[in-house]
Amino acid sequence: MIELEGLTKRYGEKVAVNNLTFAVRPGIVTGFLGPNGAGKSTTMRMILGLDRPTAGDVRIDGTHYDRLKDPLTSIGALLEAKGVHPGRSAYHHLLCLAQSNGIPARRVHEVLDTVGLSAVARKKAKGFSLGMGQRLGIAAALLGDPRILMFDEPVNGLDPEGIHWIRTLMKSLAAQGRTVFVSSHLMSEMALTADHLVVIGQGRLLADTSMAEFIQRNSRSYVRVRSPERERLLDVLHGAGITAVENGNGTLEVDGSKAEHIGELAARHQLVLHELSPQQASLEEAFMRLTAESVEYHAHSDTPASAERWGDGWKEGRA
């Protein structure tokens, strides 16, 4: 369990993290979302005691980070950057971390095996690709067999098999009752991995809810219904006071009513349904709606038109 209380970080005038209070619970994967510059990395660094909070408090299982005895056995973290001496081998990198926390050397071999780096364990990290560096970082996080794991952008540089693997790994760690806290920019990936979400924007907490609730609250959900007896279906729905919108290709969209309710209704009226599917927006849509105002580096939206707009002038000039 990671608990943040009123956590605040200021760099001079700029407030990077503003009065964050939330808890990351064990047994589930908690996603940590926010636009660039929202303060995610700063928050993670403060959790690890790397940055000092201007105000507020972080506790790891009730203890301050710097009071942890052998911290790697309590919390393991993969931070964004590579952070490996290029001239040191993967094995020695992990070994020196293990020794500082009294972890036996054979555990180093175990984690190298787990992340699939055994074959290159003695090679210098210099030649590692982004994906291999990522695996090494994951190995370091697992080293102390910690109850709490934190991953910052874990799928960076991994190929589809690697992405699948890390996703499955995080879920199984959570299923073992561990606390898993993961940040990512990939909404579609997050939707597959996380059970719970913590969303921040401009350093402030925007949401701390379950995935399903988050999507439900921040987007439209409806039920799509299809039936060979469309007219009768419309009548039945109408009779029950439910409004349905026709969608053109013979399907109806029903807002504000649950699928099971419509199913029961159809059964009662002996109506044949060919489809009865609850539809939800994607996590991405929900996220965009929530964070719309707190984004740095806005790209122009008028890209498509730009070609003509600027192109003609100078092309003519050159002709």
Partner 1 sequence: MTAAQVVRSEWTKIRSVASTVWTLSLAVVVTIALGMLIAALSRSEFDSMSSRDRLAFDPTFISFAGMSLGQLAMIVFGVLVVSNEYSTGMIRASLAAVPQRGTFLFSKLAVATALALVVSLATSFAAFFLGQAMLGEHRASIGDDGVLRAVIGGGLYMTLIALFSMGVAAMLRSPMLSLGILMPFFFLISNILGNVDATKKIGRFLPDQAGSKIMQVVPPLDDDTPYGPWGGLGIMALWVVAALIGGHVLLKRRDAQ
Partner 2 sequence: MIEAVGLTKRYGDKTAVYNLSFQVRPGAVTGFLGPNGSGKSTTMRMILGLDNPTAGHVTIGGYPYRRLPNAPRQVGALLDAKAVHGGRSARNHLLSLAQLSGIPARRVDEVLGVVGLHDVARRRSKGFSLGMGQRLGIAAALLGDPQVLLFDEPVNGLDPEGILWVRNLMKALAAEGRTVFVSSHLMSEMALTADHLIVIGRGQLLADMSITDFISANSADFARVRTPDTEPQQREKLSSALTEAGGHVLPEQDGALRVTGLPLPRISDIAHDADVRLWELSPHQASLEEAYMRMTQGAVDYRSTDDQKAGLQQPLPPGAQPPMPVPGQGQPGWYAPPPPQPGGQPFAPPQGAPVPPPAGPYGAPGVPGAAPGVPAPNPYAQPAPQAPQGPAPVAPPPAAPPSAPSSADLTKPEDAR
Residues with Cβ within 8 Å of residue 261, at least 6 apart in sequence? none
Indicate which of partner 1, partner 2, none lies near residue 86 (CB less than 5 to 8 Å, by partner kind). Answer: partner 1
Site for partner 2 in 30-49 (CB under 8 A): 33-36
- Tokens at 239, concatenated: 């009779």
Is residue 10 near partner 1 by the rule CB under 8 A? no
Asked whether position 49 contacts partner 1 by CB under 8 A, the answer is yes
Residue 234 interacting with partner 2 (CB under 8 A): no
Q: How far is the CB of 291 from partner 1 (least distance, A)?
A: 26
The item of partner 2, partner 1, none sharing an interface with residue 131, based on CB under 5 to 8 Å by kind, is partner 2
Instruction: Give the nearest distance from C-beta 204 to partner 2 in angstroms.
Output: 16
How far apart are CB 158 and partner 1 at their closest, in Å?
Answer: 19
Q: Is beta strand 196-201 parallel, antiparallel or unpaired with respect to 179-183?
A: unpaired
Q: Which of residues 62-101 bind partner 1 (CB under 8 A)?
A: 65-66, 68-72, 77, 79, 81-89, 92-93, 95-101
Chain centroid to Cα 123, Å, comes to: 32
CA dist 149 → 128, 172, 221, 282, 283 (Å): 23, 12, 33, 26, 23
Distances (CA, A) of 281 to 39, 213, 218, 287: 26, 12, 9, 10
For 92-106, give one letter per residue: b (16+ CB within 10 A) or e: bbbbebbeeeebeee
Q: How far is the CB of 6 from partner 2 (least distance, A)?
A: 26
| Selected binder of partner 2 within 8, 89, 114, 209 (CB under 8 A) | 114
Torsion sign (Cα): 124, 128, 133, 136: negative
Q: Residue from 16, 79, 169, 205 that binds partner 2 (CB under 8 A)?
A: 169
Partner interacting with residue 96 (select from partner 1, partner 2, none; CB below 5-8 Å by kind):
partner 1
Our finding on whether 300 is near partner 2 (CB under 8 A) is: yes
For 87, which DSSP code?
T
